[in-house]
Structure formats: C-alpha cells, structure tokens
Chain A
Amino acid sequence: MSKYILQRFIYMMITLFIIVTITFFVMRLLPGTPFSNPEKLSEAQLEIMNAKYGLDKPLAVQYFTYLGNLVQGDLGLSFQSQGRTVINVIASRIGPSALIGGQAMIIGFIIGLVLGVISALKHNTIYDYGSVFIAVLGMSIPSFVFAALIQYFIGVKLGWLPVALWEGYSYSIMPSIALSVLVIATVARFIRSEMLEVLGQDYVLTARAKGISEEVVIIRHVLRNALIPVVTVVGPLSVSIMTGTLVIEKIFAVPGLGEQFTLSILVNDYSVIMGITLFFSALFIFVIFLVDVLYVILDPRIKLKREG
C-alpha cells in the first residue's frame, strides 16, 4: 500500500517537473517580447528591463533560477500589470473560480446522482430514457454554447438572473449552472451503469433473499457500492471544470483565473500565462494523485498488481 502511494507520488513529481520544464522553454520560444511597447524603448532601457527580469543571463542559469524561485513559491513578476507578482495576480483571482467551480461540482453531483439512481431503478422505462437523454445532451453540448444560450434566454430574455459581472451571490448562479452540465451528465451515466452492475451481484440477491426491505437493499448495499467508483470520475471532472472556467468566466465576466488566463493570452502577459498554467497543472495532478490513493483505500477489492 505505502509502496503504491510512494510510486504514485514519484510519478506526480516527475510529471510536475516535466510541466515546469516545458512551460519554461515554451516561454522562451514565444514570439514577440514580453514588454508592452518594445519599439519605444531605447537600447539602454531594454538592457535595464532585461536585467530586471533576469533575461540577460544564459538560458541554463535562467532555468535554474526559475526552478529555485518556483520551489520558494515565487513565479516572477507580471509583465503587463506594473509591479504585481504572478502569485499576487493568481491569489486575487482564485476566489470567484473556486466558488463557481465548487458550486458546479455540488449541483452536478446531486442532480447527477438523482438522475442516475432513477435511471437504474426504473431501467428501460420512460424515466430511464429521459435521464439518459438528458445525460447525452449534457455530454454533447459544448459548455460555452450552453452558457451563451442560457445567458441569452434566462439573462437577457427572461431577466431572471443577472446577465454578467460579479456584484453579489446571484451573479454566481448562472456560471455555476453552465459549468455543472457536464458534471451532471458524467455522474448520471456513471451511477446508472455502476448501479445496474451492482444490482446483478450475488450479494444483492442474498440481501433480498434475507428479506431486507427494498429501500435498505438499495441504500445500504447497492448505492454504497455503486458510489465508490464515482471517485474515479472526480479527476476527469476537475479537468473539465477547469477547461470550462476558461470560457465560462469570459462569457459571464467573472473575475476569476480563467478570465485572467484568456485575458493574458490576448495581451501576451507570458509570466501570468505560465503561472496559471503551472497552477492548473499542479492542481490537476494533485487531484489525480488523491483520487488514485483514495480509490485504493475505499475499495479493498482493487489488487495492487504491477502492470507491464
């Protein structure tokens, strides 16, 4: 067990290291200079600027300085916003993203669970087809298309919720709903197939044969066992939430990390782009690591055999 966790941890560190290296070299390869008006700067000014950002040293030195700073949590200065560090920019943006991401996860899991359970218990009935259809819609319609459409119909046409911006709690509802669609679909599909599988297991037959009431069989035996593998979809879902925030924050003008990221791409603020890239990647890799470990702890049937 601890050997497995250690192995996963080492993989996590290797992957992180590779991403750090890729982002560093990508940053050097990017076209254009990071300064906002390079043609207006004189040679001397450029030299001072380069020295300030450490761009005058050899590449290898820059790389190790970068690694060293990174370990200390220093991602450098933003090229576009004067005097702000990248960490500072990220920290000031993280709140709204975490709020809508977290809400989307909660809404998505609850609705997805309900749909999936209905689907499995009423297998091959109109209820089942209905929730499968909703799940297919949720899987298929791109989140930004859905976001734009609900913004138009709920925000502009009906006026039930604020169209965009970030001036209170009600502003977070529509972005959260738009983000939750894929979570609903994924969880519903997953719960449905897991429950159908568990319903056919011998221990469910045994439980029924013992005369336990149907509710107890479903809740204690079926649902509990069907819920364990749902942990595995948390990883992919956190990626899609992350992907979703990039466009959905842009659509609803939410001042979060995703909006900052798309903004930084447009104004070539490379250090912020790389900072957010690293932040997202590290978060994602850590979630995958946690999910892998958690899954083994939750389900003792998983054999930790070595692959290959």
Chain B
Amino acid sequence: MRKHDSELDESLFVHAPLEENKAEEIADHPTGFWIESLQRLKKNRGAVIGFIVILIISLLAIFGPIMNKYDYNTQDLTRSNLPPLVEGLERVGFDGTDSHGKNIYEDRSISNEPAWIGTDEFGRDLWTRVWRGTQISMLIALVAAFLDLLIGVIYGSVSAFYGGKIDNVMQRIIEILVGIPNLILIILFILIFEPGIITIILAMVITGWVNMARIVRGQILQLKSQEFILASRVLGASNRQLIWKHLIPNTMGPIIVTLMFTIPTAIFFEAFLSFIGIGIQPPLASLGTLIEDGYQDMRFFSYKLIFPAVIISAIMISFNVLGDGLRDALDPKMRK
C-alpha cells in the first residue's frame, strides 16, 4: 500500500548534491555475496536457533558419552530399567520414580551415580546410549550427504556442461531413476547385503545423488550461456577450469541448501530402517534402534521412547529450519 500524498511534505526530501564527481558515490562498503547472505541469515531468528540447536546436539553427541562414567554397551542387571533421576531436577519429572510413583532408587537401594535419563532393560545408561546413537545417526547422514554431493555435482555439471548427446543420455538415466521409489530400492539393497553402517550409507546414496545432480545441472545450464563464461573461454580457459573455477562456485548456494535437506532425509531413512529392524544391528545403537527399543517398552518405561524421540525431532526440525533460512538468504531473486 502506498502512503497517502498528504503524509508527504517538502521537509522529507533532501536535494541531491550537484557536484558531478559525487554523483556516483557509493553510500556503503561494497559487500560480497557471501557476507550479504550471512547478514540475511542472521536476521532469520528460526535459522539462527536451528543452527545453535544443531551445534549443541553435535557437541553433546561428541562429549555426552564421556560426561558420566558409564559405557554404552556395559550391561549391569542390578541397574536395569532405572527411571530418570537428576539431582536438583526432581520437580520436573527427573525424580527416579517409575510409572506407579515408586522410587526405584530407594527401593533397590542404589546409591552410586544415578542414570540421568534412565537405563534400558539391560541396565545400560541411556544418556550414553542416546548420544552414541546420535553420533552414529549423524555420521551416517554426513557421509551419505557428502557422497550425494560428490556424485551429484560431478554428474550434474558434466551433464549440463557438455550438453548434447551426453546430456540427453544422462538425463534419461536420471528420469528412470527418479521413477523408482527410493525406499524400495534401499530395502532391496539392504536385503542383499548384510545390514550395517556401510550398507545403509551405500543404499541411501544409490538414489540420493539424483536430486543434487538435477539441481546442479539446472544451475549450470543457466550459467553457462552468460557473458563471463564466454569471456573466460575467449581468454583461453580450459573446460576443467571453467567448471571448477566459475560454474561450481556460482552454484554453491543451491548446493548448500540441497545439502541441508539431504542430511535430515538421511537421518530419517536410517532411523526408519532401524525401526523396521533392517538398520543398525546391536550392540551398536542409533536413534532409530533406540526409538524402536523405547517403543517396545513405552507402556511402562515411556522415558525410553521420549528422550530419543525428542533428540531426533530436534535434529530434524533444526536442519529443516536452517535449510529454509539458507534458501531465503542465498537466493539472489529474493534480494530486496
């Protein structure tokens, strides 16, 4: 809506200086694309919070398991199914009582270090297990995302840059791959090979790179007909230089955004596979296996389900919000 004319008067206007040399003065320091994007990102409160949450969870995933004396895999049946107990937080539910309100710690006269968020049926400390599980889930997601990035960027840039017949064939392959539901391929892949971290990563990469390749190709197709590429080519740059020095750096924005959405997808698939029993195998734990274990016991030991469920949800929400924020910040079309 435009302001009404009556609200505007002479006093609001300042005459432009008449000196000729001042006419093209730049008001502010020139800022590069990345600095400007960062400034835009900082203004997005959700994205900043998402980033901080990811940072905190990553630090806890690394240092959480060594914050108490328990190991993720040492069984101790005298400590089985202990409810959460944190000294000082008894009021908000961490009071060591089970679903019937009975204090298990007093009942079994356990006096050594309490389990902060409880223990599982074998007496393994859940705090340690949850952070070990987060480590493994994050590791799988990061490696899968990195491989997607590598294959996707190479495939997409080659396809777009060389064009013609090569592009045609490469695009037809992608079109067929996109048509296959990826979960089905992932499950079939895992059924053939032994379930494990590497199998899960490879299974996710088989179809995961396609999205990245499509985005990189689209970007490079737009870029490659622009003048600066022609200029560089005229100056004698080789194809390799053109791709790595000009095209890929200019595609970085969409690549980063896609990566931000690849990571939560990978975390979801890993948890999904572990939940239906063909993912990470014991004694290793991931967020998916912990949720599965917690789900089995949720009627009487709901804390076993709730803690890993909260962590995985927090990770997924943070990555999605950060990804949204980055997309808005890096998209030059949104620039005001």
Contact = CB atoms under 8 A, between A and B. Distances in A.
Interface of A: 11-12, 14-15, 18-19, 22-23, 26, 29-31, 136-137, 139-142, 144-145, 148-149, 151-152, 156, 239, 242-243, 246-247, 250-251, 262, 265-266, 273, 277, 280-281, 284-285, 288, 307-308
B295 A251 contact: yes
Nearest to B180: A19
Interface in B230-278: 264, 268, 271-272, 275-278
Listed from nearest, the 9 A-B pairs whose CB atoms lie closest are A15-B179, A140-B316, A140-B317, A141-B313, A145-B309, A148-B295, A140-B320, A26-B188, A284-B181
Interface in B310-336: 312-313, 316-317, 319-321, 324
B75 interface: no
B77 interface: no
19 contacts: A15-B179, A30-B192, A136-B324, A140-B264, A141-B317, A142-B271, A144-B272, A149-B305, A149-B309, A152-B298, A246-B276, A247-B275, A247-B276, A250-B276, A262-B276, A277-B187, A288-B179, A308-B163, A308-B171
B71 interface: no
Given A14-B176, A148-B291, A308-B167, A142 B268 contact: yes
A285 B319 CA distance: 30
Contacts of A151: 298
A128 B227 CA distance: 41
B69 interface: no
B191 A30 contact: yes
Contacts of B171: 307-308
B179 A11 contact: yes
A262 B277 contact: yes
B305 A136 contact: no
B278 A265 contact: yes
Contacts of A251: 295
Contact of B320 (A136, A144, A281, A285): A136
A265 B187 contact: yes
A11 B320 CA distance: 33
B277 A265 contact: yes
Given A23-B188, A242-B181, A277-B188, A265 B276 contact: yes
Contacts of B319: 140
Contacts of A149: 305-306, 309
Interface residues of B, number: 42
Contact of A141 (B187, B275, B316, B324): B316
B183 interface: yes
Nearest to A185: B320
Given A22-B185, A29-B192, 11 more contacts: A22-B188, A26-B188, A31-B192, A136-B320, A145-B291, A149-B306, A246-B276, A265-B191, A265-B277, A273-B191, A307-B171
Contacts of A139: 320
Nearest to B164: A308
Contact of B272 (A15, A136, A142, A307): A142
B299 interface: yes
A148 B185 CA distance: 26
Contacts of B90: none
Given A11-B176, A141-B317, A152 B302 contact: yes
Given A141-B313, A142-B316, A136 B181 contact: no
A279 to B, nearest CB: 10
Among B163, B168, B320: residue with most chain A CB under 10 A: B320
Nearest to A307: B171
B184 interface: yes
B173 to A, nearest CB: 10
A247 B187 CA distance: 13
Contacts of B312: 142, 145
B315 to A, nearest CB: 9
Nearest to B291: A145
Among B168, B180, B184, B185: residue with most chain A CB under 10 A: B184
Contacts of B46: 136
Given A148-B305, A262-B276, A26 B192 contact: yes
B313 A145 contact: yes
A272 B13 CA distance: 78
A281 B187 contact: no
A32 to B, nearest CB: 10
Among B188, B278, B302: residue with most chain A CB under 10 A: B188
A144 B275 contact: yes
A289 B262 CA distance: 25
Contacts of A29: 192
A144 B264 contact: no
B317 A277 contact: no
B302 to A, nearest CB: 6
